[in-house]
Structure 1
Amino acid sequence: MSASDDPASGKVALRRVLGFFPSVAFIIGIVIGTGIFVSPTGILRGVDGSVGWAFTIWITCAVIAMCGALTYTELASSFTKSGGEFIFIKEAFGPVLAFLRIWTLVAILGPASIAVQSLTVANYLITPFMGDCNKEDYYVPIRLVAACVMCLITFINCLSVPVSSHLQSFLTVAKIMGLAVLILTGMVLLFQGNVDNFKNPFVVEDFQPALLPSAFYSGIFAYAGWDYITCVTEEIKRPEKTVVAMVVSLVFVTIVYLLANTAYLTALTPDEILSSDAVAATFAVRVLKSWSWTIWIFVAMSAAGNLNGLLFTRCRMFFVAAREGYLPEVMSMIHVRWKTPLPAMVVSLPLSLLLLLVSDVYVLIDFLTSVDTAFTVITVLIVPYFRWKQPNRPTTYRVWLITPVIFILFNMFVLLMSFYSTPVRSTLGLVTTLFGLVFYYFGCRWTNKPRSVQNAIDSSNQFLQKLCLSVRQEVKTY
């Protein structure tokens, strides 16, 4: 056992505390967020309500997610550092693209995602108990509950990696139990003969190609999160088992998603699903009646699990970026007692709390969705690029080259279709990303800053370091 693994060593460093099952729990807990409870509507809308084509898209997105996961696993086995996409892009294509990736996450996508998940938890916790109140009546209570949830989960992640891991395992089990209730109820209805919605499954009356990208984006959203485990490589006990954890997790998630969609269609028609903002809630009210609130609680716990995994993994990317010199130095420091990257953990908290005041946070995520997809494509391109430039590069795991090619071609198709169907929104996302070059020049390229500017930066780092009771990592963990 190395010094960084031994709690008794007293060294300030990240600990390798995530075993195989906690890794699986993290992947499942992040992937199964709110997607399966809301994405069926988006997918059905994109295929004009065709049940057969909707299931085809679910399976296609699962295959694409598996291709991406296997490709990311090869990259993770080639690099011993945490940081996921940031490290992969930096080592392959240089600092500018890597900084722009971290910029999109720090400036908008990270805080907005945290705000959205917190609001989702609050909505599902409060709505079942509000009776006939208007939505405007509980605008403030929902924001307050969301802020409390956000702060609580952030504090837990700052306090202890094992506690955060146990919380993720608990929330993962809870959401699986909720989905089990939903699926078993649907299977009972199926065996009772509720199969009308499965007749003529591939009939399409008015197909609109412009809606197809939204269907695929809904599917991609439902499977999103499998890549986050590569952000915590330095805290996994046996990183070589990551590929097994990826495969087990995504196969399990795919089976659950297909069964859940089957359950929905035993009680709801495609038109009813299309008119619903929360399919699981509509299903629960129809089938479970007075017990429908249980599904709302399970969905809230599912969103909380997604939020916990999001906070745990994203902050590691910020931590590594700061350690590499691309973000303020204080974000590369670790709390002296809790051994967690506390400064990197709380950096998104103020902006995330501020975004709770925005009436529609989803808009912020929507116009950067195409950028997020573009960076994922860039990351996967690294595998064929390295096969060409560095064919003998050491790695413990290799995918067939067709795997990243399938992933790249699919996502390029969706990306081009998104610019075709929503050109203004996609262009705004691109402009926002390129605006990060200003901060790259000021923070990274401008090395001969005036003494007054550098003194101000150093003083800010020292103040925040003392405030967070953090120091630089004392043990090399990569």
Structure 2
Amino acid sequence: MGDNSEVENMALASGDTTEIKPSEEELLVDAKISHVTPEHQPNGPVAGDSTDGGQVTLKKEVGLFNGVTVIVGSIIGSGIFISPKGVLESSAGSVGMSLLVWTISGLFSLVGALCYAELGTTIQLSGGEYSYIYEAFGELPAFVLLWVTLIIINPTGQAVVALTFSYYVVQPFYPDPDCPPPDEFIRIAAVLCLTLLTFINCWSVPLATKVQDVFTVAKVSALIIIIIAGFAYMAQGNTENFENSFENKIGEDGSIALAFYSGLFAYAGWNYLNYLTEEIKESDQNLPRAIIIAMPLVTIIYVLANVAYFAVLSPNELMLSNAVAVSFAVKVLGPMAWIIPIAVAMSTFGAVNGGILSQSRLFFVGAREGQLPQLMGMIHVKRCTPLPSIFFTCILSCMYVFVSEIDTLINYFSFVTWLAIGFAVCGLIYLRFKKPELKRPFKLNIMFPIAFVLACLFLTVMGVIAAFYDTLIGLAITITAFPVYFLCIKWTDKPLVFLRMITTTSFWFQRLFMVVGQQKID
């Protein structure tokens, strides 16, 4: 660190050293850490880990099996239970085309994950695409991604999964299809889910990890039950739903892109392990291995689950159902049908928990780069959890819960996400030519990232055509990053009264939440 103490640095930033009392010194800790290039890849400090000699350090505790679990547990959430309807509708009711979309979506996600394996082993920093875009294109594009992730991607994804959880919890109490659950009841249940898991993640990282383990087992078990039941039903000669499976055709209104949006939404989460790169043991080996094991496994489970759905439910029955797994269970399991909604609710509950657990690392990296308020990079002094960032994203997620159409949320999520991921993979291509000297333990044929970027471009353009107004909303929110960047980050000569207000407000929240910032790296 420099000659000045951390407290003095904060005071200088506010422009007034006399405002800081001695009793405040233990709380005011600067959270900004300069960006580190791949040539100096650190074991940098990340909150929530153990300390060593007074420094908050990052421990490499994620092994190969843990990496596979992170990917599988993050992917399998609500998508496989809600997206079959969206994929089939956008596929014009074609069973064969729907299964093809699920298969291609899995392969497409595998290619993207392999591109991220190269990025993660080349730029061995946590934060996923944020760190990759920062390294390749600089701080402005990275901030745009950080901004839209903070206010769109993360909270909308959490809201979608929480709404699915609440629907599966509430629906068994309303078995009559003519009397659906009250919309307000579903949304209140989703808010309760988000707030409960926010409390758990704020209270204890080990507790949040245990919750993730339990609910990952539950979601895999639910899919295994569905697959076994579906194939047993099909073995009895019930194969009529697969006859003439490609007889319907896709229209020319861009619906095929929406079909892939719904399918790819079910695979969302394949990049979550990259948010934890600095915590992976032998990351240059275990990151690619975890991806190569996890992605084909999830694809096989997903395709087999959809075959089971179509074996039991006709295309019309599936499209009329708002809870495909429940409709499946009622028809196949009879009096034991209650198992499926409970298992699905546990699955989606765990998916929300996994999102909270992993995405908080991204916001820590953003605070480490000085692109988020210092408060967002602070941790609880006793619990060692990122309480402010978790609390803030919970509030945003609860707000998105009250957006009327869940499909609209999925469209917002897909447009912004694939645009950002495609841009990150563009960084891979750029770095191949700009910095060929970088060590690349895992290296793909250049045609794979090029094809992936072109596919992302196709999805984005077709998504704009098919859901123009939804895309405009997402684009409008994205553009707000530019004035925020120039006003809050680039503009350094701010009025003294404003700096004092920020310092006072931050200190007040520090005392309220009992949090401190990360320490600087020398």
**TM-score higher than 0.5 here?**
yes
Alignment of 1:137-286 (within 5 A): 138-204=182-248, 207-240=251-284, 241-286=286-331
Matches of 2:262 and 2:250, distance apart in 1? 20
Query: Conserved in 2, the CA contact under 8 Å of 1:17 and 1:161?
Result: no
Match of 1:115 in 2: 159
Among 56, 79, 97, which residue is 1:53 paired with? Answer: 97
Verify the 8 A CA contact 1:112 1:361 in the aligned structure 2. no
> Residues of 1 paired with 2:512 and 2:61: CA distance?
26
Q: Within 1, Cα distance between the matches of 2:169 and 2:421?
A: 33
Give the superposition deviation at 1:174: 0.5
When structure 1 is superposed on structure 2, of 294-303 and 3-12 the one drifting more is 3-12
- The aligned counterpart of 1:401 is 446
Correspondent of 1:31 among 48, 65, 75:
75
Q: By how many angstroms is 1:8 displaced?
A: 7.5
Q: For structure 1, which segment, 421-430 or 176-185, has the greater mean C-alpha deviation from structure 2 after superposition?
A: 421-430
2:136 corresponds to 1:92: yes
Kept in 2, the 8 Å contact 1:158–1:342? The answer is: yes
1:136 & 1:47 partners in 2: Cα distance? 26
Structure 1 residue 381: deviation in Å?
A: 0.8
Tell me by how many angstroms 1:453 deviates. 0.6
Q: Is the 8 A contact 2:90 2:258 kept in 1?
A: yes
Matches within 5 A, 1:355-434: 355-360=400-405, 362-367=407-412, 369-434=414-479
Where does residue 125 of structure 2 map in the other structure? 81
* 3-state secondary structure, aligned to 2:156: helix
1:70 alignment partner in structure 2: 114
Alpha-carbon distance in structure 1 between the residues aligned to 2:256 and 2:56: 50
CA contact (8 A) 1:178 1:295 kept: yes
Partners of 1:419 and 1:132 in 2: how far apart?
A: 37
**Relative to structure 2, which stretch is displaced further, 317-326 or 144-153?**
144-153
Match of 1:288 in 2: 333
Question: Tell me, what secondary structure is at the counterpart of 2:322?
Answer: coil
Cα separation, partners in 2 of 1:361 and 1:423, compared to 1, 3 Å: closer
SS in 2 for 1:168: helix
User: Which residue type is aligned with residue 316 of structure 1?
Assistant: R
The 1:68/1:366 distance shift into structure 2, 3 A limit, reads: same
2:347 is aligned to 302
Please give the per-residue CA displacement for 1:390-412, whole angstroms capped at 9, x wherever unaligned: 11112322122122122112121
**Percent identity of the aligned residues?**
37
2:3 match:
none
- The list of structure 1 runs, each at least 4 consecutive aligned residues, that deviate by more than 6 angstroms after superposition, is 2-5, 133-137
Cα separation, partners in 2 of 1:137 and 1:195, compared to 1, 3 Å: closer
Instruction: State which drifts further: 122-131 or 406-415.
Output: 122-131
More helix by share: 1
Stretch deviating more after TM superposition (109-118 or 264-273): 109-118
2:358 paired residue number? 313
How far apart, in 1, do the equivalents of 2:50 and 2:480 lie?
43
CA contact (8 A) 2:380 2:513 kept: yes
Task: Give, in angstroms, the shift of residue 78 of structure 1.
Answer: 1.9
Q: What is the identity, as a one-letter code, of the residue corresponding to 1:214?
A: L
Q: Secondary structure at the match of 1:52?
A: helix
Alignment correspondent of 2:516: 471
**Hey, what's the Cα distance between the residues in 2 that align with 1:160 and 1:105?**
24
Residue type at the aligned position of 2:383? W
8 Å CA contact 2:422, 2:456 repeated in 1: yes
TM-score normalised by the chain length of structure 2: 0.85
CA distance in 2 between counterparts of 1:52 and 1:132 reads 31
Contact 1:465 1:471 in 2 (8 A): yes
Distance in 2, Cα, partners of 1:111 & 1:6:
28
How far apart are the structure 1 equivalents of 2:52 and 2:174?
50
Shift in alpha-carbon separation, 1:206–1:62, aligned structure 2, 3 A: closer
* Structure 2 CA distance for partners of 1:421 and 1:328, relative to 1, 3 Å: same
Unaligned runs of 5+ in 2: 1-42
* 2: CA distance, partners of 1:199 / 1:355: 41
Return the match for 2:66 from 22, 26, 31.
22
Matched to 1:300, the amino acid is A
The alignment status of 1:106 with 2:186, answered yes or no, reads: no
Residue pair 1:285, 1:292 contacting (<8 A) in 2 also? yes
* CA distance in 2: counterparts of 1:264 and 1:136, whole angstroms: 22
- Give how far 1:250 is off: 1.0
Alpha-carbon deviation of 1:71?
A: 0.6
SS of the residue corresponding to residue 17 of structure 1 reads: coil
CA-based RMSD: 2.4
> What amino acid sits opposite 1:73 in the alignment?
A
Is contact 1:12-1:336 (8 Å) kept?
no
Task: Tell me the amino acid that sits aligned with residue 97 of structure 1.
Answer: P
Instruction: Report how far residue 131 of structure 1 moved.
Output: 4.4
| CA–CA distance in structure 1, aligned partners of residues 203 and 54 of structure 2 | 17
Alignment: residue pair count = 476
- Contact kept, 8 Å, 1:26 with 1:168, in 2: the verdict is no
Residues 284, 462 of structure 1: alpha-carbon distance in 2 compared, 3 angstrom cutoff: same
Give distance in 1, aligned partners of 2:250 and 2:263. Answer: 21
- Say if 1:420 and 1:351 are closer, same or farther in 2 by CA, change over 3 A: closer
- Secondary structure (helix, strand or coil) at the match of 1:334 reads strand
Name the SS for the 2:271 alignment partner.
Answer: helix
Give the superposition deviation at 1:41: 1.9
TM-score (structure 1 length as normaliser): 0.93
Gaps of 5+ in 1: none
Q: Aligned with 2:379: secondary structure?
A: strand
Find the aligned partners of 1:261 and 1:118 in 2 and give their Cα distance: 22
Instruction: Give per-residue Cα distances to partners, 1:304-332, cap 9 Å, x unaligned.
Output: 12111111121111111011011101212
Q: Which moved more, 1:364-373 or 1:259-268?
A: 364-373
Partner of 2:394: 349
* Cα 1:153–1:17 shift into 2, 3 Å: farther
Change in 2 beyond 3 A, CA 1:308/1:392: same
Q: 1:437 aligns with which of 462, 474, 482?
A: 482
